[in-house]
Amino acid sequence: MSTDPLPPLRLEEARARMLAGVGALAAETVPLLDALERVLAEDVHARDTLPPWDDSAMDGYAVRAADTSAAQRDRPVVLRVVGEVAAGHTAAGSVEPGTAQRILTGAMLPPGADAVVRVEDTDAPAGTAALPERVAIHVPVGVGASIRVAGSDVRAGDLVAAAGTRLTAHRIGAMAAAGRAQVAVHRRPRVAVLATGDELVPPGTPLDGGRITDSSSSGVAAQVMDAGGVPVALGIAADDRGSIRDRLRAGIETADIVVVCGGVSLGAHDEVRPALDEVGRVDLWRVAIQPGKPLAFGRATSTDGRTVLLFGLPGNPVSSFVTFELFVRPVLHRMAGRSGAGGRTIIRARLTDPVSTDGARRAFQRVTLERGTDGGTQARLSGGQGSHVLSALLAANGLAIVPEGIAELPAGAEVEVMVLDDPGWPEEEG
């Protein structure tokens, strides 16, 4: 049992203390694809005007619009085809009255032309036919028809994306179009992860003699990557203060954050708190959440003078998962320059089962989200809610939040759910 005399902290209070003084990490310039999911540390301005010149939005014929004004389907206007301009080439000559040039999508408009007639509106075959001598135009077109005007998208020097923009996949191409092969983004936070416990063996090792697999540190390392950080494995330390301390020191020298899984309670073999005290300034808190035992948090200074955050999370895999989500993930987001308190979507859903909690702490229950018969979203408990129950975590795609002060919720009650794995749109019925 904790002997901490202070009442448990509210989640928001604990999180605010952890985030205090944390800012976005320094910028580094990286090749464009390495910037995926990272946050711009510079304003990106367009190098070029886009489109850079008037070009065709269609495959068709570049014409003078006035030449087509009398065109009808049964009485077409016939123009002499004097050339062709394909994408990536410049026109050989200009379009004079009574003439046309075949043009392909994205090709530069030849001088003299002020409109494009779509190939479908001519007698010319679409595709790779030989250049015809003449083309019959079946419909009149106005000036500017099927033309993408230079600068209609972006002008050289325009701000394309401001510092702070997250470079999701749908924004990377725009950086390339702005003329950038590299961009400045915030450095990824490095997170050293240490497992502690005499009972732990690495994944894949046969179990005997009371040993169990260290699953929490793999889970935490994956959460680090998912939150935009780079995990650094510190391995497994026995419940021995000296060995924990030495690995913590190694972590402090290489990482922005050190996360220790396990050993953070006040049990007879819980050596993490004293080891943390030897390497930094540490508080042990109780936070009013469930799961979530006492949680250690503090700061250390590396030999090169950097402030490194220290987190001691409970060792049970469900507890380490939930406490990482609630506390470490928001810090990683802040360091990576992302806005928001951790970036998980919160939705509302109806419980399919009654839920009971201890009432004193905010509870995070593993649930599976599903579509109800009324079309709304419902949340089904994905299994036992004990902190060691991996099967329920495995089946879950959300964490249902039961506020403090509420001990019982009936089936059908609406709750907020943090979405862990968005299943996306349902498959089309075919």
Chain residues that interact with ligand AMP, rule: CB under 6 A: 195, 197, 199-200, 212, 214-217, 261-265, 267, 314-317
9 vs 296, beta carbon nearer ligand AMP: 296
Q: Looking at 196-204, 247-255, 356-364, 388-396, which segment touches Mg ion (CB under 5 A)? A: 196-204
Least gap, CB of 374 to ligand AMP (angstroms): 40
99 vs 323, beta carbon nearer ligand AMP: 323
Taking alpha carbons only, the member of 237, 195, 196, 190 closest to residue 219 is: 195
Least gap, CB of 265 to Mg ion (angstroms): 8
Least gap, CB of 315 to Mg ion (angstroms): 5
Taking alpha carbons only, the member of 275, 284, 265 closest to residue 234 is: 275
79 vs 200, beta carbon nearer ligand AMP: 200
Which residue has its beta carbon closest to ligand AMP?
Answer: 315
Q: Which of Mg ion, ligand AMP, none has residue 119 at its interface (CB below 5 to 8 Å by kind)?
A: none
Q: Which of Mg ion, ligand AMP, none has residue 357 at its interface (CB below 5 to 8 Å by kind)?
A: none
At residue 177, what are phi and psi to the nearest 5 degrees?
A: -65, -30
Taking the alpha carbons of 205, 209, 214, 215 in that order, is the dihedral positive or negative? positive
68 vs 215, beta carbon nearer ligand AMP: 215
Least gap, CB of 312 to ligand AMP (angstroms): 9
Least gap, CB of 204 to ligand AMP (angstroms): 14
Least gap, CB of 194 to Mg ion (angstroms): 12
122 vs 216, beta carbon nearer ligand AMP: 216
Q: Which of ligand AMP, Mg ion, none has residue 60 at its interface (CB below 5 to 8 Å by kind)?
A: none
262 is a contact residue toward Mg ion (CB under 5 A):
yes
114 vs 214, beta carbon nearer ligand AMP: 214
Least gap, CB of 425 to ligand AMP (angstroms): 35
SS (H, E, C) the chain: CCCCCCCCECHHHHHHHHHCCCCCCCEEEEEHHHHCCCEECCCEECCCCECCCCEECCCEEEECHHHHCCCCCCCCEEEEEEEEECCCCCCCCCCCCCEEEEECCCCECCCCCCEEEEHHHECCCCCCCCCCCEEEECCCCCCCCCEECCCCCECCCCEEECCCCECCHHHHHHHHHCCCCEEEEECCCEEEEEEECCCEECCCCCCCCCCEECCHHHHHHHHHHHCCCEEEEEEEECCCHHHHHHHHHHHHHHCCEEEEECCCCCCCCCCHHHHHHHHCEEEEECECEECCCCEEEEEEECCCCCEEEEEEECCCHHHHHHHHHHHHHHHHHHHCCCCCCCCCCEEEEEECCCEECCCCCEEEEEEEEEECCCCCEEEEECCCCCCCCHHHHHHCCEEEEECCCCCEECCCCEEEEEECCCCCCCCCCC
Least gap, CB of 388 to ligand AMP (angstroms): 6
25 vs 224, beta carbon nearer ligand AMP: 224
Q: Which of ligand AMP, Mg ion, none has residue 183 at its interface (CB below 5 to 8 Å by kind)?
A: none
269 vs 350, beta carbon nearer ligand AMP: 269
Least gap, CB of 320 to Mg ion (angstroms): 12
263 is a contact residue toward Mg ion (CB under 5 A):
yes
Give the residue, chosen from 8, 60, 197, 337, that forms a contact with Mg ion under the rule CB under 5 A: 197
107 vs 261, beta carbon nearer Mg ion: 261
Which residues sit at the interface with Mg ion, rule CB under 5 A? 197, 262-263
